[in-house]
Amino acid sequence: YRARTSRGNVAYRVWRPILPRQTPREPHQWLVMPAVLQYIQGRIQQARGGRVIVYGQTKSQVQAISRELGCEPYHSEVVDRAGVMQRFQDGLHRVIAATSALGMGIDIPDIRCVIHIGRPRTLLEYGQESGRAGRDGQASEAVIIHPDGWETPDPWIHGVADADFQLVQAYMGHGCRRYILDGYLDGTVDGYTRERCRDQDLDELACDGCEPDWEAQE
């Protein structure tokens, strides 16, 4: 038996803030808007003492997030990367802002929330990075925050194949997120192809495509 990429105890969600019409299409200004910061801080509070990773698309985004949230940044130009990682692992800091340089080897059991600022580069990367949430089996979440209406590739992100962009777009659409994630990364496992959340496991946490009113239930 092979485990699926998506975790049953992780709720997969996408939040699309509606920005003021004059907001320029660039990587920083929108993410420090009060409504966006308030949403991120709300998800951190909802983590109830567990740890939170906030992924940025670029180093400068990570610096901005780190500044606004008062947490340590982690990217290729941070000199004390090992120290930052150690403090996060030891629980001295609950929140870390990072690029995808926050490597594959992290196995911290109580990461309650993984937030991606902006569209992930590929669904494979997203599966790996969101898979850091909830390794202890407790209820956790993986959230993408991406402005409403930004439906073309981000001009500051380079080298993404159109097929990868379209897959991420499909994941961020209105249907079941596990259906897209598991279908692409796992396909049919043990004769079973997923159709929606909870179609096999009733204890699974539903994604926001399958449970649109999830916020009212918190």
Q: Domain of residue 27: give its range.
A: 10-165
User: So what's the pLDDT on residue 217?
Assistant: 67
| Residue 68 included in any domain | yes
Beta bridge partner(s), residue 98: 55, 74
**Mean pLDDT, rounded, for 155-175:** 93
DSSP 8-state class, residue 215 = G
| Residue 115 included in any domain | yes
- Residue 117, classed as helix, strand or coil, is strand
**Mean pLDDT, rounded, for 29-33:** 91
pLDDT beyond 90 at 148: yes
pLDDT beyond 90 at 51: yes
Domain count, the chain: 1
| Residue 16 included in any domain | yes
| Residue 77 included in any domain | yes
Pull the structure tokens for residue 102: 């926050």
User: So what's the pLDDT on residue 1?
Assistant: 40
| Residue 218 included in any domain | no
**Mean pLDDT, rounded, for 110-117:** 96
Q: State the CATH number of the domain containing residue 150.
A: 3.40.50.300
Sheet holding 95-98: strands in order across? 10-15, 140-145, 111-117, 51-55, 95-98, 72-74
| Residue 46 included in any domain | yes
| Residue 184 included in any domain | no
| Residue 161 included in any domain | yes
User: So what's the pLDDT on residue 3?
Assistant: 61
**Mean pLDDT, rounded, for 18-44:** 92
Q: Indicate yes or no: pTM above 0.75.
A: yes
**Mean pLDDT, rounded, for 97-114:** 87
User: So what's the pLDDT on residue 38?
Assistant: 96
pLDDT above 70 as % of the chain = 93
**Mean pLDDT, rounded, for 192-196:** 77
Residue 86 to residue 81: CA distance in whole angstroms? 9
